[in-house]
Structure 1
Amino acid sequence: MPTTTTVQRVAIVTGAARGIGAATAVRLAADGFAVAVLDLDEAACASTVATIEKEGGRALAVDCDVSDAAQVEAAVARVDTELGAPTVLVNNAGIVRDNLVFKMTDRDFDSVIGVHLRGAFLMARAVQRHQTAAGWGRTVNLSSSAALGNRGQANYSSAKAGLQGLTKTLAIELGPFGVTVNCVAPGFIATEMTAATAQRMGITFEEFTDRYAQSIPVRRGGRPEDIAQAVSFFVREEAGFVNGQILYVAGGPKG
């Protein structure tokens, strides 16, 4: 009897060298996807790729500045050639340039908007060609509870709020082609980025984490794996009727 070959679906995760992106890439590989691990520095992606390959998965490290349209196009083309046509996209790449508005420079604002919001747009535009051609796709954008407003983060909050609007618009435009677009908005998550914030504040990361935990109903900070779990739900086949949604993963009600 003839055998049926199932083609492995390919996912791209941006900002996947560490933190939430790395945890998400590893989780999607465990879910059966081949995963392109994108970050500014290809060498920095080696640990994530090695973790995936150690468990028998397929992964590819790709360097890409997601705010640069030419680099995005080149990265997606490389993924298509070396792993296969990408039909899952997780827009996680991000930076912080925190400051109060009267101290925030033009560059502080533009660079954060460029990576988070422009980057997600450029990646979504490039990947949707493969999604619509396949008649199936999943895009998940990483927003934040900071989208609701956060002192010292006019740039970051604006970018994350913009991602929620982008999510809903892409869900409307791409839904008819079998592509869903959803958004995960983390609360406080223990990552190298939040550790750097603690350092800027002049306190230990343990103090920083404990301070936040007291205001969270479940009384703990989040872990990158908590966010990876939520992304895993949105990209699975069974989530095909969930589209244009914002899920706050914050240990308590938000939004």
Structure 2
Amino acid sequence: MSDGIKMQHERANRLHGDSTEGLWDYHYTRDPLIRYLRDRRLHRALTELDNRGRLDVATQSVLLVCAGVGGEGTFLANQGFVDVTVSDLSEKALGLCRRFDKRLKTRFLNAEQMSEIEDGGYDVVLVQDGLHHLPRPISGFTEMLRVASNAVVVIEPHTGLVARAIGKTWEIDGEAVNYVFRWNRNILEQATRSYLLRNDAEVISCRFFDHNLVVNRLVSKLRLPRRLQLLAARCVYRLLDLVAPMGNMMVGIVLKPSGPSPQRLVGH
């Protein structure tokens, strides 16, 4: 285990060592406003897969990478997925996951080196806000490409002017130091092509704004019923959609082609 991975492992276990009741409720709450703010990125990803005929909740196996206590796993199970595995580098996080949602499988994995999983071992491999915690995010991404047979979904911060102006570059928690790696379509596509050596993998990049904590604080101050606060949050994001090309977040999807690799292209 590298020094960077070891620090993240220790940090994750320290973070998830607190099992205080209510501390992790935002992952599982039925509050419509919190659910909307928390799940909108995941809904976007599933919609993109569905629009391309790559979504089958009844038969597909899903591996979630860097998935902590399993909030994304519960979301997918609620959408109808019957084979969902939550993986993380923290044994304590996985223990909480098993306690919170019995429908989910768990697996202790180093996302940068998932050697215990065979090539194409899962239909869909998904990460949300996890790769940028890794010392080597591209290694984590290419491992996702390797173990996915159908699609890879990456929901991560997007690079750009807004991110550079107001986003963090470094996250420091005790001895754990993390560089916040931000993605864009070019990085996603180059990492995909260089690893798969195929030109027929479809790379999709959807950029948009997502500030769920800020929007939640903003609309929760309104002295309105919860359903009207939810409506206000939706309106905020509809306005932000007008400037989506400048957004701070990205849903990146790679649809892997089926069949053997074609002959490599020859450059001229």
Structure showing the higher helix proportion among its residues: 1
TM-score with structure 2 length normalisation? 0.45
TM-score with structure 1 length normalisation? 0.47
Which protein shows a greater Rg? 2
Structure showing the higher strand proportion among its residues: 2
